[in-house]
Amino acid sequence: MSRPTHGAGHSARTYPPRPQAVYFYATCLVDLFVPEAGMDAITLLEREGVRVIFPDNQTCCGQPAFTSGFPAEAREVVAAQLDLFPEDYPIVVPSGSCAGMIRWHWEKVIGDDAGLAARAAAISARTFELAEFLVHVLDFKRPDQGEPTTVALHTSCSARREMGTLLVGRELLSRLGNVSLAIHDHESECCGFGGSFSLKHPDISTAMVTDKVASLKATGAKQMVTADCGCMLNITKRAALEDQNAGRATPSLPGEHLATFLLRRTGGKQ
């Protein structure tokens, strides 16, 4: 039976029973910059006995065009991907912002074409962010095999508000017996990445990520964990630049995608 669960800021959504298979929507950033996070997410799912299908023709979710004010271009991107998920399997996305785009905006982007809108709505209804899927569908619980450590969790703005990933991220970390979570100031604030925002407003973006890095470091956490690679790259690269400028050879704020962190601490790639 399906189970309704309340998300952050939205009405309850219904979660399916454990499926035999899922589609995996990798996202552009994972595909191009952090492919290991995608592979680790796939391994996590496969270890739970779920077959993972990777549609070869997947591209961008359309979020950059949509948020930059180019609805026609966003619609073209979305429409081109409606045939990627023919079977009625859940679609798992290792990024809250991209999952949020599919879940809440694909149907709006498609516009007045009733046929395409219905297909987009059907896809949206079975799209899940990775941590959300691990908690609410797979009930991910494996023994923590890592050494005791303290981490700070960062969730992107879209992931936090549209997909509730702060709650499910905290829940997954709480299931690791040797992991303590450090709560940092500015936790709900943007890291300054914001997709194209960091390119359009680099000075403001730099000030925001500098504040975020300082807040994370102030917790004394050994590392940062996040489920969004855009934020991870922005924060860790800023921290790396500060380390370089200070002459530090050891990273002061290493970061990992949540999938990689979970896999590493629960037995690795068996």
Beta bridge partners of 256: 225
Distance CA 191, CA 184 (A): 13
Torsion of CA 246, 185, 100, 38, to 10 degrees: 40
DSSP secondary structure, 92-124, as one string: EES-HHHHHHHHHHHHHHHTT-HHHHHHHHHHH
Mean pLDDT of the chain: 92
**Domain at 149-265, CATH from 1.10.10.1100, 3.40.50.300, 3.40.50.11810, 2.40.30.10:** 3.40.50.11810
d(CA 40, CA 188): 27
pTM, entire model: 0.92
pLDDT score at 161: 85
Q: Give percent above pLDDT 70 in the chain.
A: 96
- Do residues 17 and 2 lie in contact, with contact meaning Cβ atoms separated by under 8 Å? yes
> Residue 230 region, left (φ>0) first, then alpha (ψ -120 to 50), else beta?
alpha
Reference 196, options 92, 106, 97; nearest CA is: 97
Which of 246, 183, 193 minimizes the C-alpha distance to 215? 183
Could you give the CA distance from residue 264 to residue 259 in angstroms, rounded to a whole number?
A: 9
Domain ranges within the chain, ordered by starting residue: 3-136, 149-265
pLDDT 10s digit of each residue in the chain, 270 long?
Answer: 444 444 444 457 889 999 999 999 999 999 999 999 999 999 999 999 999 999 999 999 999 899 889 999 999 999 999 999 999 999 999 999 999 999 999 999 998 899 999 999 999 999 999 999 999 999 999 999 999 999 999 988 888 888 888 999 999 999 999 999 999 888 888 888 877 788 788 899 899 999 999 999 999 999 999 999 889 999 999 999 999 999 999 999 999 999 999 999 999 876
Identify the CATH class of 3-136.
mainly alpha
For strand 91-93 and strand 21-24, is the pairing parallel, antiparallel, or unpaired? parallel
